[in-house]
Structure 1
């Protein structure tokens, strides 16, 4: 799988090497009616965007303590992959520690509603997108990996393909970390909220081939074990998915290497929908 992906990536990149990156990177102000505030996002349109055709869209989520600008700043080559795979890339803001769900204890955090509904609608209204689940994907790193799978599992009418890189796909082993208790209450006080909102406990929402999935986590990552557990649970439920692991930790060198594979996987999925 990795050898094939590497070959395909090389072929696509070689075809693009004759000219420089032409993707356009914009910072836009979107609006969340549920939270009654403006929220920034980065939108990357590919080189041929002005040609008039509509494009598939991939939402790429940041991790804990990050923001909407992380991917564009820390992986400046991201525009090259928007060009290579001819897709619009949207990088939303997840407000430092939202974990991308609607907090049951803090009404100012409704980031499931924002990303899966309000932002998707805003992007579809303002850009030339293919407005169906078959041409809409979502992925992310760490907290964003949890968010991408969480939103895709719960909104299969919105997203047809989803990925995760070093995702916090089961945060129950980490009850004191990353402000999760601020969003859900402490595990001791509200264990049911933790059980209901962690990705690994949402696998029951899937049926075979209802959602295309690619999951990637480094073998030295502190989330490696929970990702392996999710992989095993998907196998047990007969849910097809790609699972990638290689040496690496929880850091930007790993994610910068992982994202092109995720975008290639999504491009392949989009092409199959024609």
Structure 2
């Protein structure tokens, strides 16, 4: 009886404490551009503390209304994936509805500068990373999908690959949603801000296959039309990319599935 109890207890302890070998770290970064400290969740792969070699980094952005803990709490397997692909995964806090750009109407919202400069520098300083674009990628869901493409398109010297899952790749059809008018101004008065900061209008920044791209969207998603139009636009420009559309809606069931395909893509990019 004692042996059986001991074995049972051991299984329980392993399940609770050994299910994830990866480590979670909260990195607080002081943003000089916004004058505040921002929390970011960092997933370190198994054995990180005991190994001296450097790691590639994937920046994984949350959607509107979320925060830096979303991916770990909603898709717990993300910790396993950090181990499987032996990469560092960084989940920034995008202030719920920053849309990851530097707002032209609100100087307190400068998340393009924060993520692509201040955070990247802080991560490379603290962790054992490979600090170059060939070992750095960015992706995200919904608002984060728009943000990942937006930041990667504008900062190709920082990121070598980018992805988007159910991304809001054209924000212009949604002038009353997700605090966009607070970030860009009223559409009727500040149309130029909307045109300049919607990612589908930034395709002109891409040159051939300089930036490796993957994006996907469920056919029942309200962002499906924008994703399909982005695909067509990239095809017209002969920009290589991986595009996937499949049954699905705008929810965590879809994103938990989508992230697996994207991680395979980024792992292949890092290894190339």
Q: Classify the TM-score, shorter chain.
A: over 0.9
- What is the Cα deviation at residue 20 of structure 1? 4.8
- 1:253 aligned residue: 253
- TM-score normalised by structure 2 residue count: 0.92
Counterparts of residues 118-157 of structure 1 (less than 5 Å): 118-157=118-157
Deviations 1:109-140 (A, max 9, x none): 00000000000000000000000000000000
Deviations 1:20-49 (A, max 9, x none): 531111222111110011000000000131
- 1:11 aligned residue: none
- 2:269 aligned residue: 269
In 1, the alpha carbon distance for the partners of 2:252 and 2:61 equals 14
- 1:12 aligned residue: none
In 1, the alpha carbon distance for the partners of 2:45 and 2:245 equals 29
In 2, the alpha carbon distance for the partners of 1:72 and 1:192 equals 37
- What is the Cα deviation at residue 264 of structure 1? 1.2
In 1, the alpha carbon distance for the partners of 2:29 and 2:78 equals 21
Structure 2, gaps ≥5 residues long? 1-17
In 2, the alpha carbon distance for the partners of 1:48 and 1:209 equals 34
Instruction: Give the SS at the match of 1:268.
Output: helix
Deviations 1:36-92 (A, max 9, x none): 110000000001312111000000000001011101111111110000111000000
Structure 1, gaps ≥5 residues long? 1-18
Asked which structure has the greater CA Rg, the reply is 2
Instruction: Give the SS at the match of 1:109.
Output: coil
- TM-score normalised by structure 1 residue count: 0.91
Task: Give RMSD over aligned pairs.
Answer: 0.9
Deviates more, 1:57-66 or 1:258-267: 258-267
Counterparts of residues 1-274 of structure 1 (less than 5 Å): 20-50=19-49, 51-272=51-272
The runs of at least 4 consecutive aligned structure 1 residues that moved more than 3 Å come to: none
In 1, the alpha carbon distance for the partners of 2:84 and 2:217 equals 24
In 1, the alpha carbon distance for the partners of 2:67 and 2:243 equals 27
In 1, the alpha carbon distance for the partners of 2:240 and 2:85 equals 23
Deviates more, 1:202-211 or 1:19-28: 19-28
In 2, the alpha carbon distance for the partners of 1:140 and 1:239 equals 20
In 2, the alpha carbon distance for the partners of 1:109 and 1:20 equals 38
How many residue pairs get aligned? The number is 254
In 1, the alpha carbon distance for the partners of 2:89 and 2:191 equals 36
